[in-house]
Structures are given as C-alpha cells and as structure tokens.
C-alpha cells in the first residue's frame, strides 16, 4: 500500500514537471503577432536547444542541422534569446545558465539516442527516445507512430517498460526473444526504468528521425 502511494506521488510530480517543460517550450514556438505564422514547430526549438547544448552553433550550421532556411534559424535563435535561454558570441549560440537549467529538466524528462539497424528499424537512420514514467499515457502506440510520420519518419514503434522487461502495447510478444539485437542495444544505451516509454523511429535522414522521435515523445509528455 505504501509503495503504491509513493509510486502515485512520483507519477504526479513527474507529470507536473513534464507539463511545465512543455508549456515553456510551446510558448517560445507559438505565433507572435503581428507577423507571419512561424514555419517551424516546438520540436525544432527543442532540437535547436539540444544542438546548442553540445557545442556553440552558428545560424547557418543550425539551419543545416534542423533542415530549415537560415531565416527560420534566425527566428528560432531570436526566440531563444528573448526567452534568455541562449546568448550569442563569435563562436555561435550557446546556452545561458537558464538555458542549461531547462536542458537539465528536459534530460530528466526524456533521453534520446541514435541506434543501429535491427529487427525493429525501417530505414538507415534510427533514433530511440525514452520518456520517463509515462506508461499510463500510451494506448495502442498508433498515436506515436502517426506523429512521427507527420514529421517525415517512415515509422515508429512504441514499447513499454514494466517489471524489468520491454513489451509492446496490447501484445503478448516476448520483445527480448523476438527483437534481441534491438533489446540489447536499447537497454544498454537508454537504461529504462519501470513505467518508462521507449519509442523507436526510423527515417531517411537523422534530422527526420530525431524530429519524428521528439514528435512521438511529445504525445506522451503530460501537457494538461
């Protein structure tokens, strides 16, 4: 009984953190009047933060990495500067202290890694994303696949981690035995915990795979 209450409390706290993170990022990406509607999404903003967190990044380089025009990249940078998440130097954009704090919160909510071809993948570029403590928000896995495809991915597979094992939603398939190469790599790279959601996304390019993975993950992060 006590363990159940503790688990429920942890879920509520995690969902609140997820909701706050989503709201902050969605406000940055939202349309700012007056002016044309933005030609990018909150996912591009999130991916930009990832790239800038790794190394100082210039506008041209960021545009190439996001697969957008330089004008769009400039707008994303301006939005992030206005939110005090990035600053700009001669070397390029870099995260401010506030940006680093947001990036840390983001890392606590989800993690992402490029993986090799295996029994679950459908293309040359494949990304697996892990969303913490969100099993209760997955139904059949179709919503995650649809969102990934909308961002240019070829497909996506959602898995749930419960009682120390991965499983497919609404399926009795033994994932460990059916997809041994995937299971070994995913477990080593992402190290899921109980009630985590793992989504594997395949696309023709890494950028599309990453955007597809983030789009799929966005559906299970609580935003209420």
What mean pLDDT is predicted for residues 141-159?
Answer: 96
Instruction: Tell me the domain boundaries of the chain.
Output: 2-105, 110-218
The confidence score (pLDDT) of residue 205 equals 95
Is pLDDT of 3 > 50?
A: no
What mean pLDDT is predicted for residues 190-217?
Answer: 96
56-84 pLDDT, tens digit each: 999 999 999 999 999 999 999 999 999 99
The residues, ordered by sequence, that sit 6+ positions from 118 with a Cβ below 8 Å of its Cβ are 126, 179, 181, 182, 185
pTM for this structure? 0.84
Cβ atoms of 49 and 95 within 8 Å: the answer is yes
The residues, ordered by sequence, that sit 6+ positions from 193 with a Cβ below 8 Å of its Cβ are 132, 133, 161
Is pLDDT of 14 > 50?
A: no
Estimate to the nearest angstrom the gap between the alpha carbon of 74 and the chain centroid. Answer: 22
- Provide the pLDDT confidence category of residue 221 given band limits of 50, 70 and 90: confident
More confident residue, 14 or 122: 122
- Provide the pLDDT confidence category of residue 38 given band limits of 50, 70 and 90: low
What mean pLDDT is predicted for residues 37-55?
Answer: 89
Is pLDDT of 10 > 70?
A: no
What mean pLDDT is predicted for residues 4-28?
Answer: 56
Q: What is the CATH number of domain 110-218?
A: 3.30.1360.30
Architecture of domain 2-105: Orthogonal Bundle (1.10)
Distance from the first to the final alpha carbon of the chain:
27
Is pLDDT of 2 > 60?
A: no
More confident residue, 78 or 24: 78
Is pLDDT of 101 > 70?
A: yes
């Amino acid at each position: 009984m006590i363990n159940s209450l503790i688990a429920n409390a942890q879920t509520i706290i995690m969902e609140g953190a997820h909701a706050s993170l989503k709201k902050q990022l969605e406000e940055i990406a939202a349309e700012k009047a007056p002016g044309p509607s933005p030609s990018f999404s909150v996912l591009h903003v999130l991916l930009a933060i990832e790239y800038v967190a790794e190394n100082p990044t210039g506008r041209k380089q960021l545009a190439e990495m996001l697969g957008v025009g330089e004008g769009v990249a400039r707008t994303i940078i301006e939005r992030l500067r206005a939110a005090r998440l990035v600053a700009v130097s001669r070397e390029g954009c870099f995260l401010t202290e506030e940006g680093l704090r947001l990036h840390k919160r983001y890392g606590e909510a989800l993690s992402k890694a490029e993986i090799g071809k295996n029994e679950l993948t459908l293309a040359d570029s494949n990304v697996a994303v892990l969303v913490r403590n969100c099993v209760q928000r997955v139904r059949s896995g179709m919503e995650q696949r649809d969102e990934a495809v909308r961002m240019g991915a070829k497909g996506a597979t959602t898995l749930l981690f419960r009682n120390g094992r991965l499983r497919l939603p609404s399926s009795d398939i033994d994932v460990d035995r059916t997809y041994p190469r995937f299971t070994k790599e995913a477990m080593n790279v992402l190290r899921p915990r109980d009630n985590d959601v793992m989504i594997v996304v395949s696309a023709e390019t890494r950028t599309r795979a990453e955007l597809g993975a983030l789009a799929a993950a966005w559906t299970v992060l609580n935003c209420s």
